[in-house]
Structure 1
Amino acid sequence: MDNRTIDDELYSIVYQGDISNELDTRLKSLPDIDKTLDFCYQRDNQHINLLMLAALEGHDRVIRILLSHSSNVKHLVELTGIVYGIDGIRVFHASALWCACDRGHYTLARTLIEVGGASVYHGPRNPLLIDATINQRFDTIQFLIENGYVDINRTRENNHPKYNSLMISAARGYTMIVAYLLEKGAKVEYKTRKYNDTALGCAAMHGRLDIVQLLCSAGASTSMKNSIGETPLILAFKNDHLHVVDYLLDLTNNELCIEELEIIACSFIIPRRGVSNIQPQYVRMVDLIRKSFKMRQAKNFPKTIMKPIAAYNFQQECQTIEEFDKIQHDHDRLYIEALLIRERILLPKKTIVLCDPLLIRGEKLIEQCDFENCLRLWEHTFHLFQNMNHETSLHRFVWVFCKMLATNVSISPQLFVQICHLTFEPSEKNNKNHSIKNALCFVTIASMILERQTLTEEERLSIYQWINDLCRQQRRTSCGQTLLHLSVNDQTYRDINYRTNEIKQILNFPSLCTTQLLLTYGNRWIDVDAIDISNGNTALHIIAQSTKIDAPSIVKLIIDAGAHGDCLNKHKKTPFDCARNTEIKSVLQKYQKPFLLKCLCARFIVEQQLNYELTWHKGTQLNNFIYLHGCITK
């Protein structure tokens, strides 16, 4: 008899439940029993072994016989295949234990676990308890829990978010399963490791009011937060489950709950970035704020409010319900009230979402041509970002000033200098490239203010002083470019990537006026022969390559400031060698020949490879001078 015939006969015997009691004898007669037990039958689009077949058909005695003949029972019970579940869906990676549970053969399943050592944690996708919960197999859940085969709390999904059975049933709205799990000792406070999700949070997020009530009755805390600080109340609100929100509000009455209520109230009139076509619900906001006042009064939780500041039009947050009632029909004032409330609550938590509405309001103010209030609001926002240790940027201010210049709106010199001083804030010192480029844009804008507007001497001096202070810091980009490099570089113009059309309409580089301001009011600090890292270019090398109309004038300006026209870059080229048009070449040629004596001496030292560093150490003026005249090429 060939192997195929034997396999077919064994399949038939197992399928029928060994009604003739011949299975044991037939297995003993086989030369390699383990090979037979491992063999995978492909029948009716299913891939199964004999153990899985017996499990599907519910033959417990057959299961015991098969296990008794295996030399590696642990291996046998963990073999998987492809079967059709009881619901008709094809399931991959199904084990014999899964097959038994799927068909409801729990006596047989007990045999596989207790005799065969089958693992309840190896399901097709998840542990058996999780799969049973997802598929609402209450009978399987009972079997696993009643027999103590699983840990309700620690048995979790294999993949993120790694919910346990209570969380899954809470999220999916399986009330009966939730009630059963709670009865059997499921912990309502159990949290996922990564996101700190709880069953109550899952239920609230999906709007399962009956389960929220069930969990709260079981002692679930309404103040538990997930990894990003969201309580069940916030999760319910964010997902528009207002019936759950109302229940949780009525249930809790502490200060945390009141603050959450206030945040929710603000959300009815403050838009979220990226969410459009949502009309502000002022009535809803007013109702909730009034409710929060009553809760504060009942629990004696007074507010701690901030001092009036220009960013909020010197308005203060209402402290009583009577004060609030006076503004309830003033929509703009309600908006400011919402901003004040959010800052009081979110700033101590360093929550970055605090700032988005401020940026959005600033954009609205610009649409209304209310530029100064926008600048004050965004200046305040800048400090909020910095206080929360988040990255700051000044590009929005550059844009606002450009908008003002484009529409011929006068720029307050005091406010301008005040904004310019943000370039000295600690957060801007950590952001080398953006910071120095935005500072340069401010210098260019300053040149236009000085040219177009009538300023007092004091106002002019304040701008000059800021430029001097900026140059004193001698900032460089990551590739070693100074303010002077950037002011004469075509690439600076091309690098403008925020509100590009509006800013490029006003700012242009190379800029003669910007260069003039830097060299005039920062002359003490500007190194006209400073070189960049990538090519060893001085500012003169860079402007020599420009074809812009102001380039020759800028070349003269830099040379008049003391720049050396014979400095060599890493490619052994002088600015004259880099020049692209005859006018610039002619300007440079006057300064290239005859060479200054000290330049000739520096070249001689380099060419003769004299060890000058013993006399003039690195960092000294003479060392740097010699370096510029040839050593850089080495």
Structure 2
Amino acid sequence: MDLKTAVFNAARDGKLRLMDKLLCSKSHSEVTALMSEKTNGATPLLMAARYGHLDVVAYLLEQCGAPIEEGGSVNFDGETIEGAPPLWAASAAGHLSVVKVLLEHGAVVNSTTLTNSTPLRAACFDGHLEIVKFLVEHKADIEVANRHGHTCLMISCYKGHKDIAQYLLENGADVNRKSVKGNTALHDCAESGSLEIMKMLLEYGAKMEKDGYGMTPLLSASVTGHTNIVEFLIEYKHTSKIDRVNALELLGATFVDKKRDLLGALKYWKKAMDMRYSDLANIIYKEEPLHLNMAYGYAKEVSSNEELENLIADPDEMRMQALLIRERILGPSHPDTSYYIRYRGAVYADSGNFKRCINLWKYALDMQQNNLDPLNHMTASSLLSFAELFSFMLQDRAKGLLGTSVSFDDLMSILSKSVLEIERALKQTPSSPDQIQLNKTLSIILHLICLLERVPCNADQDHFKKQSIYRFLKLYPRGKNGFSPLHLAVDKNTTCVGRYPVCTFPSLHVAAVLLECGADANARDVDKSCPLHIAALNSSPEIMKLILAAGGHFDTTNLHKQAPFDLLNEKEISKNLIHPINHTTLQCLSARTVVKHNINYKGQIPVKLEAFVLLHS
């Protein structure tokens, strides 16, 4: 074990004598350097603070000159916090004595992690009241919010720490402060079920505001199923009658889909129905829909107690009622609306009713693409779910289940929607789309293309498929490391797109259809590697032959001056399958000679020929 690791372990485990023994013979400069070294992303001081070793913390500060503000990585409850200063770690872990020592030695009380979380917020999160008081007494700013705009008061309310919330309010915390998404501390109480804290907030002047999705605290409580909050707020003097009705109906939908309690749902729906008709002179009618939704089985919301009573005989109809109610009250832009449509579809898929699942998922996907930003993680999740479902339906083990046949139209429609997602992203942010989500969506598209090769189609359908793939390629999308779709098609990492297997890559079939539809056989990634390089690294000689036949150049070099055959030579299995001399033309040799001797060819030869020479540079 090297010295750096030994010092780190001693700090983490609180072994002061061992640490002193390790460092006593080292020079001042060596000790100073070790204090800034990180193991697993953390300095010795950060680890000692995280685990509350007061004597080690004092030793590192006073004897070793450890940098008191050096942030690093610490783990809490399975989550890694990046850029956490020692004071933050000690505050989060509840080590008051360490917090005091760090502040005495000059730690900045409002220092933050990479997500802008302060030591005070960390103490509020885990309910360390004494540390909260000590930090505030030492000028900690109560109103510093994290990157999501969540304040110390908000997190105290969400975690149910009433004593901390009360202390913060007594010290001037803004009770009506809004987060980036527009929620307030009242919303946090509603989402966590903290009724006593909610009552306290109202005493301090909290207002019933709507968040960015138009959600009041009352609706937030209905969505999360906290009946204590709902029952309190529907009696609140400022709550309107229509708000009470909506909250009860939404709570019933939550009982159906989240709590799986159909009788409980009926109870709240009946209470809402009675409230609608409580004043015969001012009945609150439900709006008649312009059209009924095929995805919901053409279900219509019930509008009388008699219709409501009949629901108990048809559980499936009740589930459709829940989806209808949620969409009406929350609207299509709220994440829960599409989430529960997808959830209900998944339940149908589990029972083998794939057609109902596909119809619901398509409806949810349209909703997401119409309301969410391009490449939103929820949309990508929907696309991936389709790929996984289609893959399962095409397997032998799915035979005999209800509606297992995958139609060309179903698969093709999802491929088209996936391509639309790429098109939307590149149109909105052509220079800087979310690379992680872009790469994931590109990989999903390749899996869908792979699945399409296993579904029979006629000549017109085949033409439509290839026309769509051609349009996709003409978007010139680039994934990780600047990979083109053809790069991804010949890379084994493209296989791992989700939790369940869909298709295996490198894929000869996908590479073939991409090349047929116009993929550039000599496209370059950020390392100037072409698909042949990636195929060689993945030991795919058959795919390499395919790319070579489509115009790929075996002697194209990347930034590391490697040609595909250089990489192939390292693979014993492929040595005798492709021989470089069989794929090297006189043109290639001439171009390499021009490059080798640094001949100035620009402007001296046709532009197309310049591009050819560049392939060999």
Per the TM alignment, residue 584 of structure 1 is displaced from its structure 2 partner at its CA by 5.3
Please state if 1:541 is matched with 2:533.
Answer: yes
Tell me the CA shift for residue 537 of structure 1: 1.9
Residue of structure 1 aligned with 2:597, choices 583, 608, 611: 608
Contact 2:189 2:195 in 1 (8 A): no
Q: Is the 8 A contact 2:522 2:530 kept in 1?
A: yes
Once residues 460 and 311 of structure 2 are traced to their aligned partners in structure 1, the CA distance between those partners, rounded to angstroms, is: 41
Q: Does 1:567 find its partner at 2:556? A: yes
Give 1:378's match in structure 2, choosing from 331, 352, 361: 361
1:526 partner amino acid? A
Code of the aligned partner of 2:439:
N
For residues 335 and 314 of structure 1, the distance between their equivalents in structure 2, rounded to whole angstroms, comes to 13
The answer on 1:337 being equivalent to 2:337 is no
Which residue in 2 is equivalent to 1:281? 264
Cα distance in 1 for residues equivalent to 2:152 and 2:547: 65
- Displacement of 1:589: 3.0
Q: What letter is aligned with 1:340?
A: L
What's 2:512 paired with?
516
Of the structure 1 ranges 338-347 and 200-209, higher mean CA displacement relative to structure 2 is found in 200-209
1:384-395 equivalences in 2 (<5 Å)? 384-386=367-369, 387-389=371-373, 390-391=376-377, 392-393=379-380, 394-395=383-384
Q: Give, as a single letter, the amino acid of the residue that structure 1 aligns with 2:249.
A: E
Report the CA distance between 1:473 and its aligned residue: 2.5
1:422 equivalent in structure 2: 417
2:498 counterpart of 1:498: yes
Contact persistence 1:207–1:236 (CA under 8 A): no
In the alignment, structure 1 residue 435 sits paired with structure 2 residue 441? yes
Measure the CA separation in 1 of the matches of 2:599 and 2:144: 70
Give the Å deviation of 1:211: 6.0
Match of 1:257 in 2: 244
State the alpha-carbon separation in 2 of the partners of residues 562 and 405 from structure 1: 34
Alpha carbons 2:248, 2:269 under 8 Å: kept: no
Q: How does 1:104-183 map to 2 (within 5 A)?
A: none
SS across alignment from 1:612:
coil
Give the match for residue 60 of structure 1: none
CA contact (8 A) 1:490 1:510 kept: yes
- Aligned partner of 1:591 in structure 2 is 582
Deviation at 1:266, TM superposition (A): 0.9
Name 2:525's counterpart in structure 1.
532
Residue 608 (structure 2) aligns with: 621
Residue 602 of structure 2 contacts residue 610 of structure 2 at CA under 8 Å; is this kept in 1? yes
- Mark the runs of 5 or more structure 1 residues left unpaired by the alignment: 1-91, 94-122, 132-154, 182-186
Compute the RMSD of aligned alpha carbons: 4.6
1:486 maps to a residue whose letter is L
List per-residue Cα deviations over 1:322-380 (Å, max 9, x = no partner): 554443431111111111111122126x3222232223222212211222322222222
Which residue pairs with 1:6 in the alignment? none
Asked if 1:403 is matched to 2:405, the reply is no
Whether the 8 Å contact between 2:266 and 2:308 is mirrored in structure 1 is no
Matched pairs, number:
448
Amino acid at match of 1:418: S
Change (3 A) 1:471 1:295: farther
Give 2:45's aligned residue: none
Change (3 A) 1:246 1:574: closer
The residue identity in structure 1 corresponding to 2:389 is V
Q: CA deviation at 1:439?
A: 0.7
Aligned-partner Cα distance in 2 for 1:235–1:539: 50
Match of 1:294 in 2: 277
Cα offset, 1:224, TM superposition: 3.9
What amino acid does structure 1 have at the position aligned with 2:356? N
The correspondence of residues 184-263 of structure 1 with structure 2, limited to 5 A, is: 191-192=176-177, 196-197=184-185, 205-207=193-195, 223-225=208-210, 231-234=216-219, 242=227, 245-246=230-231, 248-249=233-234, 252-263=239-250
Cα-to-partner distance string for 1:96-142 (whole Å, 9 max, x where unaligned): xxxxxxxxxxxxxxxxxxxxxxxxxxx99669xx99xxxxxxxxxxx
Aligned-partner Cα distance in 2 for 1:157–1:482: 46
Residue type matched to 2:521 in 1?
A: V
Match of 1:446 in 2: 452
AA at the equivalent of 1:440: L
Matches of 2:551 and 2:254, distance apart in 1: 59
Partner AA of 2:514 in structure 1: L
Confirm or deny: 8 A CA contact 1:540 1:558 kept in the other structure. Answer: yes
Of 478-487 and 393-402, deviating more is 478-487
Distance 1:517 1:210 in 2: 60
| Structure whose CA Rg is larger | 1
Q: Distance in 1 between matches of 2:190 and 2:531?
A: 60
Percent identity of equivalent pairs: 24
Question: Is 1:433–1:478's contact at 8 Å kept on the other side of the alignment?
Answer: yes
C-alpha distance in 1 between matches for 2:356 and 2:151: 44
Residue of structure 1 aligned with 2:297, choices 290, 313, 323: 313
CA contact (8 A) 1:265 1:286 kept: yes
